[in-house]
């Protein structure tokens, strides 16, 4: 049975990592580190449970059953279709894909333009149009994602985060402070566990199997069992990378004295990360942050557009992959115009309902054997 070489496995693992590692993955760990303080290790275990282990379990269980429809059909065939469509829409054009454009705009453009009102809205419209046009071009060839994301974008992103971590070790003194929120003080693990929900990676992991398989097949592997094994292997590589970078980012946040933001309302992880970069690199730090956020958000956008379009093409092949891609790109573009705050305001409630269902389905998928009539 043919299998990937070590280099090919790393490339696919890097590609999967880049599809997971978006804006939320950048901003939640630093926020956790600053808020949890001395309780950061326990809180990180909770975050890793929902933002690393859960997504990789999702990749593995879908690889075992062939696709998300088969997995959902363990409950009922109609549930399999409905749950797949709902998850695809949530991590697709309703929340996750528009969030990539909105977040990258807030972090990579807004600090440099000093606009408000209609001027800011017009700039957001223009940026989102260019952002999604570029993502559409990349997603047109899903089998090439491994080359752009796995070989180029991910190594650049990882290198920049490691450089920032080294700068923090050199420029920022080691400090320890007590947790500043009740949640991290009394229940650090559960609070971190809940924070990991917001990355939406647990749901995304259920959908990335198809696009990973397409890229593995591009290396000449077509056996179903081999595809499943290589998909799981790529998930493990991606999970290790995610866990390492989360710990680095949480450590950076832990070194920030909460008093720096005293009197400031609605502090986010993005504010903390920007403060760290400015402290380490000065004015050039804003450019550094902009590049990191753009790469992370763009990678996730391309991965989600490709995987969601592949899924809907598999569900209804009378509409071509390209047409599905056009539909999801345009719908994501228009929703992104709402802005980051409006997108996040309604996403929390949806995720609180979907995540427990997804977790239960993953457990069921591991316990139950694959049906003989399941299609891969």
The CATH number that applies at residue 296 is 1.20.1740.10
Is residue 1 domain-resident? no
Is residue 335 domain-resident? yes
The Cα 131–Cα 117 span in angstroms is 21
Task: Tally the domains of the chain.
Answer: 1
Task: Note whether 14 and 155 are within 8 A (CB).
Answer: yes
pLDDT over threshold 60, residue 18: yes
Is residue 375 domain-resident? no
Residue 189 is predicted with a pLDDT of: 94
Three-state SS annotation for 171-203: HCCCCCCCCCCHHHHHCHHHHHHHHHHCCCHHH
Task: Note whether 269 and 253 are within 8 A (CB).
Answer: yes
Work out the number of other CB atoms within 10 angstroms of the CB of residue 265.
5
Closest CA to 133 of 365, 369, 332: 332
The Cα 26–Cα 255 span in angstroms is 16
pLDDT over threshold 60, residue 374: no
Is residue 370 domain-resident? no
Is residue 376 domain-resident? no
Is residue 78 domain-resident? yes
pLDDT over threshold 90, residue 246: yes
Residue 196 is predicted with a pLDDT of: 85
Closest CA to 21 of 165, 169, 193, 150: 150
**Structural domain range at position 19:** 6-363
Residue range 306-316, pLDDT digits in tens? 989 988 898 88
Mean pLDDT computed over 160-174:
89
Is residue 158 domain-resident? yes
Residue 348 is predicted with a pLDDT of: 67
Is residue 157 domain-resident? yes
Question: What percent of the chain has pLDDT above 90?
Answer: 31
Residue 63 is predicted with a pLDDT of: 84
Where do runs of H (alpha helix) occur along 282-372?
Answer: 284-315, 321-336, 340-367
pLDDT over threshold 80, residue 340: no
Residue 224 is predicted with a pLDDT of: 81
Mean pLDDT computed over 179-185:
87
Task: Note whether 311 and 93 are within 8 A (CB).
Answer: no
The Cα 147–Cα 46 span in angstroms is 33
Residue 219 is predicted with a pLDDT of: 84
Question: What percent of the chain has pLDDT above 70?
Answer: 95
Look-up of token digits 């902009």 = 290
């Amino acid at each position: 049975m043919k299998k990937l070489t070590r280099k090919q496995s790393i490339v696919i693992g890097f590609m999967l990592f880049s599809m997971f590692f978006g804006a939320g993955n950048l901003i939640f760990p630093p926020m956790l580190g600053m808020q949890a303080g001395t309780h950061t290790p326990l809180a990180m275990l909770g975050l890793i449970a929902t933002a690393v282990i859960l997504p990789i379990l999702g990749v593995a269980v879908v690889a075992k059953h062939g696709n998300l429809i088969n997995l959902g059909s363990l409950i009922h065939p109609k549930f399999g279709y409905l749950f797949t469509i709902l998850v695809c829409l949530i991590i697709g054009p309703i929340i996750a894909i528009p969030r990539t454009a909105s977040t990258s705009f807030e972090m990579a453009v807004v600090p440099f333009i000093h606009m408000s009102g209609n001027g800011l809205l017009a700039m957001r419209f223009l940026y989102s149009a260019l952002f999604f046009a570029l993502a559409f071009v990349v997603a047109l060839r899903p089998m090439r994602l491994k080359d752009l994301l796995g070989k180029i974008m991910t190594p650049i992103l990882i290198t920049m985060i490691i450089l920032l971590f080294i700068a923090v070790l050199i420029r920022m003194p080691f400090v320890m402070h007590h947790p500043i929120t009740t949640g991290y003080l009394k229940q650090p693990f559960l609070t971190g566990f809940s924070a990991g929900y917001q990355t939406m990676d647990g749901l995304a992991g259920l959908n990335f199997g198809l696009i990973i398989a397409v890229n593995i097949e591009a290396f000449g592997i077509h056996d179903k069992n081999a595809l499943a094994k290589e998909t799981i292997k790529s998930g493990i590589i991606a999970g290790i990378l995610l866990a390492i970078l989360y710990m680095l980012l949480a450590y950076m946040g832990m070194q920030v004295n909460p008093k720096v933001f005293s009197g400031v309302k609605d502090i986010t992880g993005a504010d903390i990360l920007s403060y760290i970069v400015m402290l380490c690199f000065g004015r050039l730090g804003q450019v550094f942050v902009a590049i990191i956020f753009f790469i992370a958000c763009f990678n996730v956008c391309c991965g989600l557009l490709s995987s969601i379009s592949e899924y809907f093409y598999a569900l209804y092949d009378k509409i071509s992959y390209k047409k599905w891609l056009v539909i999801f790109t345009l719908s994501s573009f228009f929703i992104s115009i709402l802005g980051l705050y409006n997108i996040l305001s309604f996403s929390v409630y949806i995720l609180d309902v979907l995540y427990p269902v997804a977790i239960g389905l993953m457990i069921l998928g591991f316990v139950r054997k694959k049906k003989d009539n399941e299609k891969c």
